[in-house]
């Protein structure tokens, strides 16, 4: 066999292998897409339950979610709860993704740089917020939050009691912070110190702080301060800015004020 024939044969075999591999990869991607979407939804529901203090190993995540959680749309400019059903697929309660909605030209909006202390640039016009129900009453409110740390945008949920002042839980489901440093936001022990802290005062002004170093337990501010992450000053600053932005007047402030007033008028 000539050299050119050998080369041609080698090229044909290589092309054949590439074709087979590409077909296998495509089939696997299509076959796994439904599983990936299911796992993504389960992880989101799990983190909502963690923030709301409802998650335990071995539970049926969807059953506990459906029995205890009510998802509502909030107009982030007015604080109004939107009762109507949105036709846009991107706003579907089953697939709602904060990142995608914020980036959408129709359903996201820019945040002016002078108030963008969390460094996130955009936010949804309509945020999906979660109420933890106790019978007909709202026991807790779970708020999606996000803010920039050292390397990444940190996405999570923070839960407030029905007094709208007390933190009931926090969790993060997506970030790219350094493992062992900023990545300690995933540590259940650190997340646990948030529970019971005072987030807002009687007038719903933000008082919660994530500070550098450890909280001085003798300080009058101890009940509204969170230990910073050791060796992660920038991530700590990002967390503090995230809390200040989302719980403040440019974030959920209008909603929280309206929620309190509507509760008083019931």
Q: What is the CA radius of gyration of the chain?
A: 23
User: Which domain covers residue 74, as residue numbers?
Assistant: 49-264
β-strand pairing of 225-226 with 209-210: parallel
**Within a domain: residue 194?**
yes
**Within a domain: residue 176?**
yes
Answer yes or no: is pLDDT of 185 > 60.
yes
What CA–CA distance (Å, rounded) separates 187 from 235?
A: 14
What CA–CA distance (Å, rounded) separates 129 from 144?
A: 7
| The pLDDT of residue 265 | 43
pLDDT digits (tens, 9 = 90+) for 107-141: 999 999 999 999 999 999 999 999 999 999 999 99
**Within a domain: residue 240?**
yes
For residues 109 and 39, the model is more confident at 109
Q: Which residues pair with 206 in a beta bridge?
A: 200
- The gap from C-alpha 36 to its chain's centroid, in whole angstroms, comes to 19
Q: What is the reported pTM?
A: 0.86
Residue 174's SS3 state is: strand
**Within a domain: residue 23?**
no
Triad 60, 175, 74: Cα angle to 5°: 65
Q: How many separate domains does the chain show?
A: 1
Q: Which residues pair with 158 in a beta bridge?
A: 143, 170
**Within a domain: residue 222?**
yes
**Within a domain: residue 137?**
yes
**Within a domain: residue 153?**
yes
């Amino acid at each position: 066999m000539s050299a050119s024939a050998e080369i041609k044969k080698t090229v044909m075999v290589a092309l054949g292998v590439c074709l087979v591999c590409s077909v296998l990869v495509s089939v696997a991607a299509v076959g796994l897409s439904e599983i990936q979407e299911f796992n993504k939804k389960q992880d989101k529901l799990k983190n909502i339950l963690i923030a709301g203090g409802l998650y335990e190993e071995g539970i049926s995540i969807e059953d506990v979610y459906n029995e205890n959680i009510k998802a509502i749309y909030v107009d982030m400019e007015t604080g109004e709860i939107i009762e109507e059903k949105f036709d846009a697929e991107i706003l579907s309660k089953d697939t709602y993704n904060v990142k995608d909605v914020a980036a959408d030209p129709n359903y996201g909006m820019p945040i002016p740089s002078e108030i963008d202390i969390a460094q996130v640039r955009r936010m949804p016009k309509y945020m999906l917020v979660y109420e933890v129900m106790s019978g007909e009453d709202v026991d807790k409110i779970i708020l999606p939050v996000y803010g920039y740390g050292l390397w990444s945008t940190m996405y999570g949920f923070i839960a407030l009691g029905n007094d709208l002042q007390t933190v009931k839980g926090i969790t993060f489901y997506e970030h790219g912070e350094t493992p062992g440093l900023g990545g300690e936001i995933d540590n259940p022990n650190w997340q646990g110190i948030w529970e019971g802290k005072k987030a807002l005062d009687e007038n719903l002004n933000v008082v919660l702080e994530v500070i550098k170093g450890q909280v001085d337990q003798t300080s009058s501010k101890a009940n509204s301060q969170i230990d910073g992450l050791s060796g992660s000053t920038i991530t700590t600053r990002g967390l503090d800015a995230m809390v200040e932005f989302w719980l403040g007047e440019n974030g959920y402030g209008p909603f929280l004020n309206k929620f309190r007033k509507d509760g008083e008028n019931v």
